[in-house]
Chains A and B, each alone.
Chain A
Amino acid sequence: MVITDELVAYLEKLGRIELDDEQRVKTKKDLQDILSYIDTLNELDTDNIEPLSHSFPIFNVFAEDEVKNGDMRDEVLKNAPESQDGCFKVHRTVE
C-alpha cells in the first residue's frame, strides 16, 4: 500500500485534525515506514492460521448485573473542558 497526499488529507479529515505542509510530509513518510515494516509479515505463510485479535488466553470476563455507582456528577464534571447546567459543554455540534 502506498501512502499518497490524498490519503493523508483524508486521514486528517477523519481524525478532525489539520496538519501544516511540513507535518504532512513527515506524516506521509512515517506512515509509509510503518506500513513497510508491517509488510515484513507478508513474507510469512498465514494461510491456515486463525486471525488473532487478543494475545492473552483470557476469555469470558464478566461483571454481574448490579448497580454499584451512585451520583458522582461533580467528580465526573471536573474532567469536562467546560460545564454548564450539569452538562459537559462543547462547541455547537449539529448533524
Chain B
Amino acid sequence: MNYEIVIGLEVHTELSTKRKIFCNCTTQFGGEPNTHVCEICSGMPGTLPVLNKKVVEYAIRTGIATNCDITTNNKFDRKNYFYPDLPKAYQISQLYFPICRNGHIDIIGKDGEEKQVRIHEIHMEEDAGKLIHDDWEDCTLVDYNRCGVPLLEIVSEPDMRSAEEVIDYLTKLRSILQYTGVSDCKMQEGSLRADVNLSVREMGSKEFGTRTEMKNMNSFKAIARAIEYEAQRQIDIIEEGGKVVQETRRWDDANGESYAMRSKEDAQDYKYFPEPDLPPIIIGKEWIESVKNNLPELKDAKKKRYIEQLGLPEYDTGLITDSIHLVRLFEKTSEICKKPKIAANWILGELLMRLNESGKTPEDIDFDDSSLGKIIVMVEEGKISRDTGKKVFKKVFEENVDPEKYVAENNLGLVSDTATLKPVIEDVIAQNEKSVNEYKGGKQQALQYLIGQCMRALRGKAPAQEVQKILKELLDK
C-alpha cells in the first residue's frame, strides 16, 4: 500500500530581548547556575510579573512576516503543571487569544512547486529552567537561568508531507526569525526547537491517521532522521494490522530510534485559566502599522537590493544571504570600506576558507565585526599588501586581534614614499644591466622581471604599483 506522511510542527524560539519576559533579569546564555535569577522568575509568592514590551513587538513582527492576522485583544493564561523546571507550578502562556493567527509560509513542495504551509497560531510564553539529575546523590538540581526567557511558539497546520518539506519550512522560518531580528535561532543553545506531530494515512485518504508527537528536537538532521524513522514505525504497525497509539515520544538521535515517554501517558490536564496578574494587551492599528513600517529588510528584498543596487553577482548574493551572520558582517564591512563587491569577495574567499578549515559555521564568527572592513581599507589604500591583508585576517579570525594595531606592532605596513624606494630601485637598475637594456630594446617582460627584483629587494614591503611607477620613470628618463 502507498502511504502519505502528514506532519505539523510546533516550533519554540527564544527571543533576542535583553531582559526576560516578566522580570528584570538578563536573558544572556550561559552563566553560573541561578545567577540570572530573581524573586519573580524563581516563582516566589507575592511577586508580580511585568511584561517586556519588546516581546509583544517581536511577536507582532513575526506575525507580519508570516502573513498572520494580529489579535487586537490579547491576554495571557496560566498553564498549570507540576515539574521542578517551572518554579511557579504554572507557565504563563496564551491559550484563548494567541497574538497571531491564520498566517502562512511559502515553501518548495515535494513536487518542486511552491506551496503554502499554513500557520495556525503564534503565541507568547516563558521558557522553563534546566534540570540536572545527580545520580550519585539521587536528587535533581535546578538552574533557573533560562526560566522566564521569552518564547514564541509557532504552530503550523498539518500541511507538510515529507522530511524535505519540513526542513524547507524550518529553513524559511529560521530565516524570517533571524532577518526580523526576533531570534538568533542558535540550535545548539536551544533557541530554536521543534516538536513534530506526525501521522500516516493511505494515499488519497481524507481522514487523518492517529498522530504521535516527538518533543524538543534541536537539529535539522535529527528532525529529518526522526521523521523517517517515525513514519516507517507507524507504517509497520499498520501493515502488521496494529493500531498507532497517540503518545508523546522522545527521539534518541545517538541510537537512531524513538521511545514513548511514560510520564506523558498520564492525563494531560493543564487547567488553563486567565492569568490574573497580567492586565490585557490591546494592540491597535497604529501599533501594528508602526511595527510594519520598521520591519527590518527580509531575505528576498535584501537579495534583490544586493543584485540591483550593489551589483553583486546572483550566486555570491545567494551565498551571503543564506546566513544572517554573513549578511551582518557584509553590511558592516561594506559600510566601512565603501566597496561592497570587494567586501563580498573577501567574505566568500578568505572568510569561508577559514571557516571551512576550522570546521566552523558563520554563526561561530566571533571577531570584531569592524575588523574585516579595516583590513580592506588598508589594502585598498596601499598601506599593506594583499598578501599581508590575508595574513592579518587569519590572525583576526583566530585571535580577534585589532588589525590596525597588529599591522603597526609587527611593522607590516608598506613603504610607499619615493625617498625610501628610489635608492633601492636605482640599485636594482645598476645591478641588472642586461634586463635594463632588453627593456629599452622593447622587451616588456624585462620590466616584470625588474619589478620582481625590486620587490625582492624591498622584501615585499612596498606597493607594486608605486614601485612600477618609480622604476618606469627612472628607466624612461
Asked if A86 meets B279 with Cβ closer than 8 Å, knowing A10-B267, A67-B24, A76-B42, the reply is no
Name the distance in Å between B293's Cβ and chain A's nearest Cβ. Answer: 19
Q: Which of B113-121, B135-143, B232-240, B435-443 contacts A (4 or more CB under 8 A)?
A: B135-143
- Shortest beta-carbon distance, A87 to chain B, in Å? 4
Interface pair B84/A61, CB less than 8 Å apart: no
A62 to B53, CA, bound (A): 5
Range for the number of chain B residues in contact with chain A? 35 or more
CA A10 to CA B266, docked complex, whole Å: 11
Q: Which residues of B are found within 8 Å of A91, using beta-carbon distances?
A: 139-140
The minimal Cβ–Cβ distance linking B46 to chain A, given in whole angstroms, is 12
Contact of B53 among A58, A64, A79 (CB under 8 A): A64
Q: Which residue of A lies closest to B274 (CB)?
A: A53
Whether the Cβ atoms of B279 and A93 lie closer than 8 Å is no
Closest CB-CB distance, A58 to chain B, in whole Å?
A: 5
The reply to whether A54 and B54 contact each other, CB–CB distance below 8 Å, is no
Residues of B within 8 A of A10 (CB): 267, 269
Asked if B33 and A66 sit within 8 Å, CB to CB, the answer is no
Q: Is the CB of A84 within 8 A of B42?
A: no
Interface: B26 (CB within 8 A): yes
**Contact flags B381-414 to A (C-beta < 8 A → 1, else 0):** 0000000000000000000000000000000000
Residues B24 and A66 in contact, CB atoms below 8 Å apart: yes
**Are A62 and B274 within 8 A (Cβ)?**
no
Is residue B82 within 8 Å, beta carbon to beta carbon, of the partner chain?
yes
Q: Is the CB of B53 within 8 A of A63?
A: yes
Query: Do A62 and B51 contact each other (CB < 8 Å), given the known contacts A84-B137, A86-B32, A88-B144?
Result: yes
User: Residues of A contacting B271 with CB < 8 Å?
Assistant: 14
Q: Quick one: closest A residue to B248, CB to CB?
A: A95
Chain A proximity of B291: nearest CB distance (Å):
14
In the complex the two chains form, is A66's CB within 8 Å of B18's CB?
A: yes
Instruction: Number of A interface residues at 8 Å Cβ cutoff, please give it.
Output: 37
Q: Which of B77-132 contact A (CB under 8 A)?
A: 80, 82-84, 87, 131-132
Distance between B313 CB and nearest chain A CB, rounded to angstroms: 39
Q: B18 to A65, Cβ gap below 8 A?
A: yes
- Which B residues lie within 8 Å of A61 (CB)? 50-51, 278-279
Q: Is A37 an interface residue (CB 8 A)?
A: no
Task: Kindly list chain A residues whose C-beta atoms are within 8 Å of the C-beta of B132.
Answer: 87
Collect the chain A residues with CB atoms within 8 Å of residue B54's CB: 64-65
Task: Flag whether B355 is at the interface (Cβ < 8 A).
Answer: no
A1 CB within 8 Å of chain B: no
Please tell me if the beta carbons of A65 and B32 are within 8 angstroms of each other in the complex.
no
- From A56, which residue of chain B is reached at the shortest CB distance? B279
* Nearest CB of chain B from residue A56's CB, rounded to whole Å: 7
Residue A85 at the B interface, CB < 8 A? yes
B189 proximal to A (CB < 8 A): no
Q: Please tell me if B474 contacts chain A, counting CB pairs below 8 Å.
A: no
Task: Please name the residue on chain B nearest to A77 by beta carbon.
Answer: B34
What's the nearest-Cβ distance from chain B to residue A81, in Å?
11
Query: Which of A58, A61, A87 is the most central at the interface, judged by chain B CB atoms within 10 Å of its CB?
Result: A87
Q: Are A88 and B141 in touch, CB under 8 angstroms?
A: yes
Which single member of A59, A67, A77, A92 contacts B140 (CB below 8 Å)? A92
- Cβ–Cβ < 8 Å partners of A87 in chain B: 33-34, 132, 141-143
Quick one: CB contact mask for A1-32 with B, threshold 8 Å, 1 for yes? 00000000010011010000000000000000
Please state if A65 and B19 are interface contacts (CB–CB under 8 Å).
yes
Q: A67-B24, A84-B137, A84-B141 are in contact. Are A72 and B18 (CB under 8 A)?
A: no
Contact residues in A for B36 (Cβ distance below 8 Å): 69, 71
Closest Cβ–Cβ distance, residue B257 to chain A (whole Å): 17
Q: A63 contacts B51, CB within 8 Å?
A: yes
Once the chains bind, are A68 and B84 in contact (CB under 8 Å)? no
Which one of A60, A67, A90 lies within 8 Å of B282 (CB-CB)?
A: A60
Task: Indicate if the CB atoms of A69 and B83 lie closer than 8 Å.
Answer: no
Query: Would you mind naming 19 contact pairs between A and B with Cβ atoms under 8 Å apart?
Result: A14-B271, A60-B280, A61-B51, A62-B52, A62-B56, A63-B51, A65-B18, A67-B26, A69-B24, A69-B38, A73-B32, A73-B35, A76-B39, A79-B44, A86-B143, A90-B84, A90-B141, A92-B140, A93-B131
Besides A67-B19, A76-B37, 5 more A-B contacts (Cβ < 8 Å) are A14-B267, A60-B279, A60-B281, A64-B53, A94-B140
Chain B residues close to A by CB (< 8 Å): 17-19, 23-26, 32-39, 42, 44, 50-54, 56, 75, 80, 82-84, 87, 131-134, 137-144, 261, 263-264, 266-267, 269, 271, 274, 276, 278-282
